[in-house]
Amino acid sequence: MLNYIEPILGFNTVRHYAIIAMSTISSLAIIWLPLIPITIFLISHKYYQYTNPRPKGCRKLGLPHHKTNLHDEYDPKYSQGVPEKHTDSEDKPSWRIKALFAYPIKSCAGIELDTADVVPTGFTYDRQFCFAEYITPKTNTNESQQAHWTARTLRDGSLCRMALIRPEIWVPDHTAEDYSPELQEVQSQGVLVIHYPRVTAGILSLPVKLGIMLGLLSKEVSFHVPFSPAQDSDQKSTYPLTPVKIWKDTPLAHDYGCHLPFSLHRFLDPDRTRGPLTLFRTNSSHHREIFRNAPRKEDLGFQPVTGFADAYPIHLLNIASVQDIAGKCKTDIPELSLRRFRANIIVQGPGAYEEDHWKRVRICGPETGIGSGSRGVEVYTACRTIRCKLPNVDPDTGVRHPVEPDRALKRWRRIDRGDLTNAALGMQVVPAAREFRVCVGDGIEVLETGEHCYIKMLKPGEKVEGV
């Protein structure tokens, strides 16, 4: 072809364009050739994703991702209270459970449920795991302090990304075609699958972003852990019992750190400014006992306990109360979701803040109670929930708002004389029965009301203000 082009353009011109073409091809080769094996890896990884099946012998717990009972949570109809002992147009109790949530990993995304089994620590799958950081005392601190694991939450400003960690609970299902009591997934009482956003920063950011754009990579990565360690000696050595500090308690819990992939560490601590991170699982022999504000053991017949929840087994929230606070910070947050407050039971029907004075409540429904019949089951609303700045974090983005709703809460809701420096919203609940079941739609009946006074964890010699 050059024999035809050369007489027209001249030898030097042809050579000039040929050099440019070769240079361009070489440059493209330098850029793209290294991506070929990466692309092959991405394709094979995608194939692995499609061929990596769900946990054997199990089914996924909770509502499908496209369904929620909070689809109309911003509807102003919930802001007005309705009479307690009435039924609505659908012949349902006017005061009833609107939605249920469990949070398998403390401070991570929740799982919405239609039905929840309750045990002494709260919902069966609630706050059974937590992330913790290994703290090494500085050399200039008190020598009596020792290195230790301490639980981490969304309260830690640099860990807001925890809101984007999405756990799934897969529970044994004897109707599954591949079910067998010998399966490891069954013997561990199910599987916790942990999803989190794929890191797209660093030296391989270009091929990763390319893979996501081409659909060769998902936006999330995941790994799984057994929900509970099996009772054999190998499992006990794999998940050693280790002290973890949570507030003033230091329960022994199973260290699941052997399962954490490096990419999760990069996601949670991209700047590598924190100590080592791990995942803990509660141990049934080392639950945290509850005394302040809670009903006594002699009244219940058992000692109130909790797992990795802050202080009490169950958190109850009234949709009307949240809507009232939402109206006070609407300029900064146009839609303040109930999910920011991370409650287990969300109720509809009562007017705003009517729950502030509840002392005992009966939950009534066809599925409620184990052997309790139609009488339902009682729970104690032990105290108001004292709020921190955690609700400032948007559960959908993991971004912390600089002031709201904390500012609105502290302006309008510093109403508990036991802690007048902090706001209160929602109620902390202690079950009056060891085991029962609650469902969306179950009725709420208030049995007793009275005055609440939150009792803080006091230092020796300190007194509660106003008491």
Spatial CA neighbour of 165 closest among 211, 209, 197, 121: 197
* 315 band by pLDDT with thresholds 50, 70 and 90: very high
pLDDT in tens, 248-302: 999 999 999 999 999 999 999 988 889 999 999 999 999 999 998 999 999 999 9
Identify whether the C-beta of residue 82 lies closer than 8 Å to the C-beta of residue 89. no
- Overall average pLDDT of the 404-432 stretch: 97
Residue 383 confidence (pLDDT) above 80: yes
Question: For residue 380, which phi and psi values (nearest 5 degrees)?
Answer: -100, 125
How, if at all, do strands 314-318 and 345-348 pair?
parallel
> pTM for the whole thing?
0.85
Residues 271/216/61/313 CA torsion (nearest 10 deg): 10
Residue 194 confidence (pLDDT) above 80: yes
| 376 or 309, higher pLDDT | 309
Cis previous bond, 76, omega within 30: no
Length of the chain: 467
pLDDT of residue 39: 53
* 38 band by pLDDT with thresholds 50, 70 and 90: low
Identify whether the C-beta of residue 110 lies closer than 8 Å to the C-beta of residue 134. no
Most confident of 50-59, 196-205, 313-322: 313-322
Spatial CA neighbour of 293 closest among 434, 458, 453, 419: 453
Q: What is the DSSP letter of 369?
A: S
pLDDT in tens, 133-172: 999 987 665 555 789 999 999 998 889 999 999 999 999 9
Query: Which residues lie below 8 Å from residue 435, measured CB to CB, with a gap of 6+?
Result: 117, 118, 119, 370
Most confident of 93-102, 204-213, 372-381: 93-102
Q: What residue segments make up the domains of the chain, in order of their start?
A: 58-449
Identify whether the C-beta of residue 224 lies closer than 8 Å to the C-beta of residue 191. yes
- Overall average pLDDT of the 45-55 stretch: 54
pLDDT of residue 271: 87
Spatial CA neighbour of 428 closest among 386, 396, 456: 386
Residue 306 confidence (pLDDT) above 70: yes
- Overall average pLDDT of the 55-77 stretch: 95
- Overall average pLDDT of the 304-331 stretch: 97
Q: How many CB atoms lie within 10 A of CB 256?
A: 18
| Mean pLDDT, the chain, integer | 86
